[in-house]
Amino acid sequence: MVNQGRQGDRIEVILAVSGGPDSIYLLNLSRQKVRGLLVAHYNHGARGRESEADQRFLARLCKDWGLSMEVGKVQPKVTVFPPTGRKGRVPPRFEKKARETRYAFLKDLLVRHKAQKILVAHTADDQVETVLMRVLEGAGITGLKGIPRVTDERVERPLLGTWRKEILEYLKRHKIPYRVDKSNFDTRFERNWIRHVLIPLLEKRYGRSLKKRIYSLGERFRELDIFIDQTAHNWLENNNIFYTNSNKSGLPHSDGSDTEAIRIPRKAYANLPSLLRIRILQVLCFEHLGTAPNERLLASMDKLIVSGKASARLNVGRGATLRCRYGEAILSPSGKREKTAAGAWWPAQTGMGKSGQGPGGKEPGRKIRKKTGTPEPAVRMEGPGIYRWDAGGPYYDDVPPGSLRAFQWKEQGKIAPGRVRRLAEGERCAAFDKEMVASPLSVRPLRAGDRIRPFGLDAYKKVKEILIDRKVPREERWGRPIVCDASGTILWIPGVVRSAHASVTRKTRRAIVLRADIPGEPPDE
């Protein structure tokens, strides 16, 4: 049965009450204004008889005021704290654990009664103490703003602008009883030490208005935090950092990432203030990876993006990785990098190794041992037509756009010089003199150690050097499809370069035009 508040109203608001002056003050104000109020008291039992007396006091008060009350209770391992000034040890992390159990109790009531919110009686004094604690801990702007007025978990703190002195005067004037928790004077607790030792010392040195100045400082940090957060979100939206499934050449990315991967333009990012850069990383981790990075990890991520070398990488937790490319950094969720995207240049069976390495998992440029087992894929092209690269064989029109990689072979007569120059750029199309090409042609994966004579040069060059010069990321270098003639000479590396072999000239009578065909996308011509 759902508990009812005064006047039989359904429970709408959960009010956390300890029995101290702050919570009793909020309870007195709320009972006059809030309908459907439920008093929630959590008895930690840490002070023995005094804890039981607090519960009995609050039960009598709620009965007198006609309010419903629910109590949460735990039997602690240590039932009584030694009095202040005597030898004794406070249980490790007691404050943190007590807070967690208390809020768990309140949230359970919120769900069970289907209430709208939880009210907590933190005051302006609590805010000042929190800001000072965060300063001493070395917190950033988010921490220095202090206690939030409202949280995503529907917790509200309506007294954050009210000072404890005002509360005590009000209770005394209206003769409203409350309990005094003696453990609040125990300076072995950090907050109590700040309240009863540090703040009086600071006030003695800097005047009675010290607390108001610290409170105002926290409010300014709150406004600054909101501004930085909005600026970070705007930067992420304006720079289109989220994966769009295509690169500058119009071809899909081949790093195995999917739509959840995040691409950060390194130059634009590096030009931002360090404070904004860190907030951008926090937003990405919180909202897209579901992680809460600490300051050390954020600093490492920032350093990698700003000054990391190409192919540098960092694990950021829960399997997610941040890795550098020449002009961008890629933040990938767990497991995304190892998958082959539907728009990949090469299929999974091409022998791509782990961590973006070459065939067989070997580092590109190192000696590769003879492979055994499944042979590397190859597609034989006998003449004009369309040849599937992902599995070889004929081309099917019913394959969804963007999910198929194919090569198209066309033949034609003389080609205009301007068009020849465009085709010679070697992006998605390339043209060759048919009489100078040894048929049949074939398509195979690019391997470490391959060499090519680039168009316009008279000497062969290592493909690895060309890829590095073109700033092709390491994970995209090896395993991509290349076109060879019958002798094994590399004619074309789509998206990178075509060879100088069988170039089309004014004397060419018939040309072979090859296109890396992507269904659903317009041709380069």
52 in a domain, yes or no? yes
Q: Which domain holds residue 278?
A: 239-344
Distance CA 416, CA 496 (A): 23
36-85: pLDDT as tens digits: 899 999 998 878 888 899 999 999 999 999 999 999 987 554 444 544 44
For residues 404 and 496, state if they share a domain: yes
Top-confidence residue, 357 or 152: 152
At residue 27, does pLDDT exceed 60?
Answer: yes
Domain count of the chain?
3
Let me know if residue 46 belongs to a domain: yes
Distance CA 3, CA 308 (A): 60
Q: How far apart are CA 445 and CA 480, in angstroms?
A: 5
Is residue 390 over pLDDT 70?
no
More confident site: 295 or 474 = 295
**Both 396 and 501 in a single domain?**
yes
CATH code of the domain containing 451? 3.50.40.10
Q: What is the pLDDT of residues 79-114, one digit of tens each?
A: 445 444 444 555 667 778 888 899 999 999 999 999
SS (H, E, C) 265-334: EHHHHHCCCHHHHHHHHHHHHHHHHCCCCCHHHHHHHHHHHHHCCCCCEEEEECCEEEEECCCEEEEECC
Is 423 in the same domain as 481?
Answer: yes
> Considering the domain boundaries, does residue 523 fall inside one?
no
Whether residues 417 and 512 fall in one domain: yes
Considering the domain architecture, whether residues 128 and 268 belong to the same structural domain is answered as: no
* Alpha-carbon span 46 to 52, nearest angstrom: 10
Q: Determine the pLDDT at residue 355.
A: 35
Task: Inform me whether the pLDDT recorded for 374 exceeds 80.
Answer: no
- Same structural domain, 133 and 200: yes
Q: Clarify whether residues 14 and 130 are in a common domain.
A: yes
Count of H helices and E strands in the chain? 14, 20
Q: Are residues 214 and 243 in the same domain?
A: no
Same domain for 38 and 151, yes or no, is: yes
Report yes or no on whether pTM surpasses 0.85.
Answer: no
Inside any domain, residue 355: no
Residues 156 and 26 placed together within one structural domain of the fold: yes
Handedness of CA 424, 426, 431, 433 (dihedral sign): positive
Predicted confidence (pLDDT) per residue in 295-342, tens digit: 889 999 999 999 988 778 888 887 888 988 778 888 888 654 333 333
Q: What is the pLDDT of residue 251?
A: 37
CA atoms within 13 A on the CB side of 440: 11
Is 206 a member of any domain? Answer: yes
Residues 419 and 503 in one domain: yes
The reply to whether 399 falls in a domain is: yes
Evaluate the omega torsion of the peptide bond into residue 359 and state whether it is cis, within 30 degrees of 0: no
Is residue 353 assigned to a domain?
Answer: no
Which residue would you say has higher pLDDT here, 400 or 35? Answer: 35
Local confidence band at 451 (pLDDT 50, 70, 90 cut-offs): confident
120-157 confidence digits (pLDDT tens) = 999 999 999 999 999 998 888 888 888 999 987 799 99
Asked whether the CA dihedral 479, 482, 484, 490 is positive or negative, the reply is: negative
Pick the last residue of a domain from 292, 318, 344: 344
Q: Say which CATH number the domain at 318 has.
A: 3.30.465.60
Supply the mean pLDDT for the chain.
77
Read out DSSP for 162-189? S-HHHHHHHHHHTT------GGGG-TTS
Distance CA 383, CA 440 (A): 7
**pLDDT, tens digit, 9 for 90 and up, residues 460-470:** 888 888 887 77
Whether residue 123 contacts residue 129, with contact meaning beta carbons closer than 8 Å, is answered with no
Burial of 181 (0-12, 13-18, 19+ CB in 10 A): middle
**Same-domain check for residues 250 and 327:** yes
Q: What's the rounded mean pLDDT across residues 470-491?
A: 78
Write the CATH number for 28.
3.40.50.620
